[in-house]
Amino acid sequence: DAKTTQPTSMDCAEGRAANLPCNHSTISGNEYVYWYRQIHSQGPQYIIHGLKNNETNEMASLIITEDRKSSTLILPHATLRDTAVYYCIAGGNTGKLIFGQGTTLQVKP
CB of 76 to another protein, least distance (A): 21
Residue placing its CB nearer to another protein in the complex, 41 or 81: 41
CA–CA separation, 49 vs 7, rounded Å? 19
What sign has the CA pseudo-torsion 76, 83, 12, 22? negative
Interface with another protein by CB under 8 A: which residues? 32, 36, 41-46, 49, 51, 92-102
**How far apart (Å, rounded) are the C-alpha atoms in residues 86 and 75?**
11
Helix (H, G, I), strand (E, B) or coil at 18: strand
Task: Please report how close the Cβ of residue 50 comes to another protein at its closest, in angstroms.
Answer: 10
Q: Which is nearer to another protein, 95 or 109 (CB)?
A: 95
Would you say 27 and 51 are in contact if contact means Cβ atoms under 8 Å apart?
no
Q: By C-beta, is 7 or 14 nearer to another protein?
A: 7
What does the alpha-carbon distance between residue 95 and residue 57 come to, in Å, rounded to a whole number?
Answer: 22
Name the residue nearer to another protein (CB basis): 18 or 89.
89
In the complex, least distance from residue 105 CB atom to another protein, rounded to whole angstroms: 16
